[in-house]
Amino acid sequence: MAKRSDANQKLIVEALRSAGAHVFDAHELGRGFPDLVVSCPNSGNTYLVEVKVPGEGLNEREFLFHESWPGWIVIVHSVEEAIDEFEFQNLLS
């Protein structure tokens, strides 16, 4: 059975792409891996993004992955949070 994505994920992906980011939808990988892999034009780096609906937290596998990952991971609940986070880091064009 395919892993479902959060209802807001499609809008977040569209917004990040419109802002110039390259986005790979990884939500079906499961096992705690974040939902999106995002490459931003201003940094040349790749970032992991966990999409959650408002009020939802990480499950156990996600928490363990986040704790063990040495790179940058962000949790976003809305289009506004996603854009704000990447603009704050000056990662979008």
Tens-digit pLDDT profile for residues 48-59 = 999 999 899 999
**32-68: string of b/e by CB count within 10 Å (b at 16+)?**
bbbbbbbebeeeeeebbbbbbeeeeebeeebeebeee
Q: Is the pLDDT of residue 84 over 70?
A: yes
Range of the domain at 69: 21-88
Indicate the DSSP class of residue 59. -
Tens-digit pLDDT profile for residues 13-31 = 999 999 889 999 999 998 8
Domain count, the chain: 1
Residue 74 located in a structural domain = yes
Q: Which residues pair with 75 in a beta bridge?
A: 50
Q: Is the pLDDT of residue 3 over 80?
A: no
Residue 44 located in a structural domain = yes
Can you give the pLDDT at residue 40? 82
Classified as helix, coil or strand, 37 is strand
More confident: 67 or 83: 67
